[in-house]
Amino acid sequence: MHLTHVSLNGCVNMHGLNWGSSAGQPSLSGMFLPENVQVPIEQPIRLLQNLNCVGCPNIRKVVIPPAARCFHMSSLNLSLSANLKDVDVACFNLCFLNLSNCTSLEVLKLDCPKLTILFLQSCNIDETVVEAAISKCSMLETLDVRFCPKISQTSMGRLRAACPNLKRIFSSLQQS
């Protein structure tokens, strides 16, 4: 399988994306393959560049560890997945991550050194979680935390300190 762009937008049958199972073998929880389809464990999806799972209402957890070998993934869009609570992504070449309007998001673990854009608009995520997540994203330039009720004006300095390369923080907070 040599897919480079996958769009599962609005898929109600997806309940999770866990690529940390079966020795790195990708697994789409809730997605079913016909019995005659054989996916060899020694050949995980390697060429995937863009994955869009926008507005998947039943997805709750996303895990993409280094063992998933997603060396080419540059864009991951999980926006509008209102029940997504837990995101744990380690992708060396990921540049763009959109989690906007994932209003249930509580856990965010990132090991994405080339991530340059992170959208968290309208997420109800704690500022300490964001600070810890971006600390392993050394190339992060743009962070969107508009309409995040748990992100305060005082945390902007800590976010910049956690990721010194930040050039833009989009916030709906008024500066005093």
Q: What pLDDT is stored for residue 43 in this prediction?
A: 46
Calpha distance 91→67 (Å, rounded): 10
Of all residues in the chain, the percent with pLDDT exceeding 70 is: 83
73: confidence class by pLDDT, cuts 50, 70, 90 = very high
Tokens of 151: 């992100």
Q: So what's the pLDDT on residue 142?
A: 98
Number of H helices, E strands in the chain: 2, 12
* Percent of the chain whose predicted confidence (pLDDT) is above 90: 64
In tens, the pLDDT along 96-118 reads 999 999 999 999 999 999 999 99
Task: Output the pTM of the full model.
Answer: 0.84
Domain ranges of the chain: 106-151+159-175
Q: Containing H/E element for 110?
A: strand 107-110
Task: Say what the pLDDT of residue 17 is.
Answer: 86
* DSSP string computed for 16-43: EEETTSTTT--EEET----TT----TTS
Q: What is the chain's mean pLDDT, rounded?
A: 86
Cβ count within 10 A of residue 126: 17
pLDDT in tens, 13-44: 888 888 875 544 444 444 443 444 344 445 45
- Torsion angle, CA of 44/50/51/52, rounded to 10 degrees? -170
Please identify which residue in the block is written with the tokens 């500066």. Answer: 175
- Each residue of 77-100: pLDDT tens digit? 999 999 999 999 999 999 999 999
- pLDDT confidence of residue 21: 58
List alpha helices for 13-171, DSSP H.
127-134, 155-162
**Residue 105 and residue 81 in contact, taking contact as beta carbons nearer than 8 Å:** no
